[in-house]
Amino acid sequence: MFGLLGLSPGLFGLFVVFGFMVGVFFGFFGMGGSFLVTPALLILGYPAPVAIGSSMTFVFGTAVIATLKHHDAGQVDYRLGGLMFVGITVGIELGSRLVFGLEVLGIAEAVVGAAYVVLLAAIGALFTRSAMADEEDDGAGDGRERATESDGSERDDVPAIAKRIQSYEIPPMMTLSDGSRASLWTISGVGGGVGLVSGFLGVGGGFVRMPAIYYVVGTSLAAAVGTSLFGGLMSGAVGAFTYGRAGVIDLGVVTALLLGSALGARIGSGATAYVDEDDVTIYFGVMLLLASLAVALGEAATWLSMPVFDRISFVLLVGSALFVCAVILYHGVLAVRDERRSAPSA
Amino acid sequence: MTGTELLPGASPSVAALAVIAVVLAEAALLYAGYGFLEDRLGPTLFDRLRRI
């Protein structure tokens, strides 16, 4: 079997374990596929097109599994995902053209690298700040502002900024699966923005897509994760087709990674029903900040011609992801045990 | 193994679609397989976790 896949048993096992970690991450947060897998494959010596193509195909497969799992829990807004995809496609085209334009000026690598570092740091800081504010507010009551649904009831899982954006009713308006309403302009703008970032940075964009759905369109965090996964499925399919045409997808690598991620994605997706997101969001924010540092080190390795920075960058990236994965599993086990304690009194 | 090796002589688009089909089939099989395991082993595992 290993001969058919073109992998040694050791490498196969490594990919299965790595896939499991990425799957947990992907299932829980709706992101984290390509920005973890691509550097790992590059470090292992795979050529860049093979690393990127195989990573995108793996993201597609994992997104299919995780979306199915979130679908079972009713956490995927297909209409929102479909509408966003139109904007994403246009944005990717604009982003890639921007990169080609910068390449003509000879500053593409520097600008793209700096933008990646700044963006990861900004999103990481946003999540960390939000999680810390929620913790402070917990003593005084509910940390999030309450938004009113169309039926008059209140939903407490929408950030204040999203509530404010939703209050500007610019037609045409569309109804989201949870009953709230959002302007088509907001949805298209978010899709276009996410696509622009994806095309510009050459990444899947889940780390932008999920926060954008949550903070700008204004869904619950669980729906943002599910809908982001659906977006990842569609963009992953496009990426897999594009790289598949070039014949650079290593199916052996994809299969081994999928074997682990299919289990991890089930556990990660299932954990969203048990684990309080507030317990993990702060770690997620810190992980993005560390990822920003890792990417900065990777850029420094190129500029200073010091490969050791590349290794440190990889260890930092995988180490922080492994830590957050362990935190999710730990909180999942705790939540299951707490459920038992509260069950007899319920 | 790449799509080109999977279907030698096929056009790039057909090879790419074959890769997508293989990954979709793998994802569906793994989803169903792990789902079956979850149904069979999940209750026991949860029970064990609750007893820790």
Residue B1 Cα to chain centre, angstroms:
17
Q: Which residues on A lie below 8 Å from B46 (Cβ)?
A: 336
Residues composing chain A = 346
What is residue A86's predicted lDDT score, i.e. its pLDDT? 86
What number is the average pLDDT over the span A215-243? 83
Please say whether the beta carbons of A290 and A313 come within 8 A.
no
Domain boundaries, chain A: 2-342
Q: What is the pLDDT of residue A2?
A: 62
Per-residue pLDDT, B20: 92
Residue A249 has its nearest CB partner, among B3, B24, B28, at B3
Of residues B27 and A37, more confidence is placed in B27
CB-CB contact of A201 with A112 (8 Å)? yes
Residue pair A296/A22 in contact (Cβ under 8 Å)? The answer is no
How many Cβ pairs closer than 8 A exist between chain A and B? 95
- A21-77: pLDDT as tens digits: 888 887 787 776 677 787 778 777 788 788 888 888 888 898 888 888 888 878 788
- The confidence band for A253, taking pLDDT boundaries of 50, 70 and 90, is very high
pLDDT in tens, A255-267: 999 999 889 888 8
Most B CBs within 10 Å: which of A67, A333, A336, as the mutation test of the B interface?
A336
Specify the range with the lowest mean pLDDT, choosing from A208-212, A254-258, B27-31. A208-212
**Nearest C-alpha of chain A: how many angstroms from B30?**
6
Candidate ranges A119-128, A166-175, A229-238, B26-35; pick with highest mean pLDDT: B26-35
Which distant-in-sequence residues (6+ apart) come within 8 Å of A135 by Cβ? A143, A278, A282
Q: Do A249 and B31 touch (CB under 8 A)?
A: no
Nearest CA to A244 out of B25, B28, B4 is that of B4
For residue A305, count other CB atoms closer than 10 A to its CB: 8
Assembly ipTM: 0.88
Scan for tokens 């058919």, then name that residue.
Answer: A4
Residue A203 backbone zone (phi > 0: left; psi -120 to 50: alpha; other: beta): beta
